[in-house]
Amino acid sequence: MRHKMGYRKLNRYPSHRQMMLRNLVTSLILKEKIVTTEQRAKETRKLADKIITLAKKDDLHSKKIIYSYLLSKEAGKHLEEIKNKFEGRDGGYTRIVNLGERRGDGAKLVILELVKEWLN
């Protein structure tokens, strides 16, 4: 049965997993495209969509939460620019594109990117 299967543990301790995902979300916002494994991308997608939705609220409390989660101020400033482009979109700010398997261990690699086709 799949009880209490709310997230992937990614074979990491909770503190390491949380910091790894924070790093991935920060990199995604700064670079708008990252290459990672499929499982990490699926977990990062959840957090990135929540952060972008929070940024669209545009109030002080949301900004404090965002800046406390992201690891650099540059990412927060870049998110301020990005959020206006997603105004007409209610969700689904990220896309996962398959790349194939990594040569060393056969892990599925994907590109996690922000959606470029913004609605007007």
- Tallying the residues shown for the chain, one arrives at 120
Band the pLDDT of 9: cuts 50, 70, 90. Answer: confident
Determine contact, residues 93/115, Cβ cutoff 8 Å: yes
User: Which residue in 93, 52, 95 sits closest to 75, CA to CA?
Assistant: 52
Q: Tell me the domain boundaries of the chain.
A: 14-114
Q: What is the pLDDT of residue 119?
A: 43
End-to-end C-alpha distance for the chain, whole angstroms:
43
Query: Residue 52: how many CA atoms within 13 Å on its side-chain side?
Result: 29
33-59 pLDDT per residue, tens: 999 999 999 999 999 999 999 999 989
Q: What is the pTM of this model?
A: 0.89
For the chain, the average pLDDT equals 92
Query: Residue 7: how many CA atoms within 13 Å on its side-chain side?
Result: 15
Per the CATH hierarchy, to which homologous superfamily does domain 14-114 belong?
A: Ribosomal protein L17 (3.90.1030.10)
Band the pLDDT of 120: cuts 50, 70, 90. Answer: very low
